[in-house]
Amino acid sequence: MTYREFRETYKYMIKNYPMTAELWQDKPEKYITLTTIRYEKVGTQWKETERKTEQVDFITYANIFDAIPFFKGLGGREIVSKSYTRKGYIPTELNSINPTRTEKTLRIFEF
């Protein structure tokens, strides 16, 4: 994938998080550590049900953040947290709550 194709494919992500475009130039085949934590609502509190850590490539990272408008359109809630990393001020956490507000998924990215 050329940079031009990348820019056309991930318009939403680059528009809202411009520093992520620089990650493409920094060898997209490098791996990012993704920790996924799933929660379930028990009464008024969230209870952790599953925790998984895996290595993902930059394209997977880009796909996750580019799909935010789609999931918001379905009625879910997507909360993005950005922080300073070695790669710049980029999204490092994504908190997703399903439309029924009974399940939550927290994705933490480490570079």
Parent domain of 59: 3-110
Type of residue found at 56? V
pLDDT reported for residue 28: 57
Give me the percent of the chain exceeding a pLDDT of 70: 93
* Torsions phi, psi for 102 (to 5 deg): -110, -20
pLDDT reported for residue 99: 93
> pLDDT tens, 62-101?
889 888 888 888 999 999 999 998 878 889 999 999 999 9
Q: How many separate domains does the chain show?
A: 1
Give long-range contacts, CB 8 A cutoff, 24+ apart: 104-107.
104/38, 104/39, 104/40, 104/41, 104/46, 105/36, 105/37, 105/38, 105/39, 106/36, 106/37, 106/38, 106/39, 107/34, 107/35, 107/36, 107/37, 107/64
**Cβ atoms 108, 34 nearer than 8 A:** yes
